[in-house]
Structure 1
């Protein structure tokens, strides 16, 4: 499995299927989190699950893999009151997610943007 396939499988199993056993399968034991609202390690991921809205959905568009880095550009529902566009950066180690950074911005519909373009690739 490629690193990008691992990331997509990990995100689906943990956040869509709500399978907390995915943490051990796909996240490195010394996982480092760089989002300031989330904790490090497996415990930080476990702490996140109960606070996510029931309708949480991660819909990736563009996915780039370069060596041990996977970058996804996604539309996310349920992270907050409105949909958001998220760029996630994952560093892989030994076939597991070892580190994560993200950039989040509120989604703006194409008909309300200055350029008329969608913020997603789909």
Structure 2
């Protein structure tokens, strides 16, 4: 029995994010992102090149950690953490990606600064099972 479309899409997004954000292998990343990639994020220039240029301009310390991932039809949502961004706080992200023809075709995100334990009214971390160092 083969993998479901949703399972394949989740694996695709995780590999794409790791290739671009952690490995910074731009040539390999081109095979994951559509040449007609549509970017809805307010802080990223249009298209695949806008995203790639953002990462090229980010500190070498940038790291992406995926957390919960869900998929339905051609959409994948990943709850993750961006650290080493050069900003005072890590970013917790919910990235929504639309897959078309086996590549990432469209993207939306919701970003939030990660709260420290002393700031968390719930007493729980925003990502994973422990607070960031």
TM-score with structure 2 length normalisation?
0.84
Pair member with larger Rg: 2
Structure 1 segments, 4+ long, off by >2 Å, are: 78-81, 109-112
Equivalent position SS for 1:25: coil
Equivalent position to 2:102, from 95, 98, 115: 95
Who is 2:3 aligned against? none
Distance 2:60 2:107 in 1: 23
Distance 2:122 2:79 in 1: 19
CA RMSD of aligned residues (A): 1.5
Distance 1:20 1:81 in 2: 26
Distance 1:58 1:116 in 2: 24
Who is 1:69 aligned against? 75
Structure 1 segments unaligned to the other structure (5+ residues) = none
Are 2:44 and 1:38 equivalent residues in the alignment?
Answer: yes
TM-score with structure 1 length normalisation?
0.91
Distance 1:24 1:115 in 2: 40
- Alignment size in residue pairs: 122
